[in-house]
Amino acid sequence: MTIWNLFSTVLMAAEAVEHKGGLFDINATLPIMAVQFVVFVALLNVIFFKPLTKAIDDRDDYVREQIVSAKERLEKSEIVVKQYEQELSAARKATQTVLATAQSGANKIRNERISAAMTEAQAKVATAKAEIDKQKQDATASLDAEVESLSRQVLEKLLGNLVQS
């Protein structure tokens, strides 16, 4: 508490001595304060503001460079995308052409095989008809001979001896 009492007495003594002037005393302290302010501003400019503005300018330059390089990369990528789309389109057209050619070739082969199968089937049908006609004629001839032989036998039995002469 003694330090507090000592401090308050020093403060009262200082107040008693300073009552000479008012709020705006123009004496040697005003120019000194002005010089101190100018020196302080100059020091702040050299120590704080110049490095800070340099850092801000460097960052601004870096951001601008990054934006420019990003735009260049975007343009390059758009060119590459267009090129790939053109290549893809050409590849699709080529694929469609190959598919159409293969399909027409397959249809031609299918039609050839169908016509060959139809020709073969017609030949087999004609052969089968000819064989059936031949068998029919053979059967007819065989039946005619049998009918004749049976009719003689029937006549012989019916008429008996009259037919033998």
Q: Where are the domains of the chain?
A: 34-128
C-beta separation of 156 from 163 below 8 A: yes
Checking if the pLDDT of 76 tops 90, the result is yes
Residue 27's nearest CA partner among 40, 18, 14 is: 18
What is the structure's pLDDT at 1? 53
Per-residue pLDDT tens over the stretch 4-22: 565 566 556 545 555 555 5
> 152 versus 60: which is more confidently predicted?
60
Residue in the structure block whose two tokens are 């000819």: 130
* Cα separation, 141 vs 139, whole angstroms: 5
C-beta separation of 140 from 132 below 8 A: no
Per-residue pLDDT tens over the stretch 92-146: 999 999 999 999 999 999 999 999 999 999 999 999 999 999 998 988 988 888 8
Contacts for 39-43: CB closer than 8 Å, 24+ residues apart: none
What is the structure's pLDDT at 4? 59
What is the structure's pLDDT at 9? 66
Residues in CB range of 155: below 8 A, 6 or more apart: 163
Q: Amino acid letter at 52?
A: L
Band of pLDDT at residue 153, cut at 50, 70 and 90: confident
What is the structure's pLDDT at 125? 93
Band of pLDDT at residue 33, cut at 50, 70 and 90: confident
